[in-house]
A = this chain, B = another copy of it.
Amino acid sequence: MIRVQREDFDVGAELKALTAGRHEIGGAVTFVGLVRDMAGDSKIGAMTLEHYPGMTEKQLAEIEAEAKKRWPLSASLIVHRYGRLEPGEQIVLVITASAHREAAFEACHFLIDWLKTKAPFWKLEDTDQGAQWVAAEARDDKAAERWTKP
């Protein structure tokens, strides 16, 4: 399941809803991305997440489908927020659940790595040096590459 929304999410409630009655699930791995208050040497007051409605949902659904093809997942969820967010606020939630923990860990890691390089979101940071568009990080490309088949 995927959701793109302005509102915050409740990790505990999402996890409960996703795993309810699914007694074949042995482990669930959750990733939550949070807004940090520093970017390099600049202090961040807030950030605004812009996205491409329509393509975002399509990309997230494709990424989720790819994870389900690669790992035996019982359930999965991606929730990504957009709009204005302050330091400490939740940005993104990825949950993967499986009979065994290895699959859940790998699939969750894969989803956030791929999402970071494929889902059409852009961060505009409100720093003490003015508003700045966040540049893509080579580190994220490298993390995503790890999952491309040889």
Contact = CB atoms under 8 A, between A and B. Distances in A.
A31 B88 contact: no
Interface of A: 10-13, 15, 19-38, 87-88, 99, 101-102, 104-105, 108-109, 112, 143
Could you tell me the dominant secondary structure of chain A's interface residues?
mixed
Nearest to A143: B102
Given A11-B30, A32-B30, A23 B87 contact: yes
Identical subunits present: 2
B34 A19 contact: yes
B19 A27 contact: no
A37 B24 contact: yes
A33 B37 contact: no
Contacts of A34: 19, 23, 25-28
A27 B38 contact: no
Contacts of A10: 12
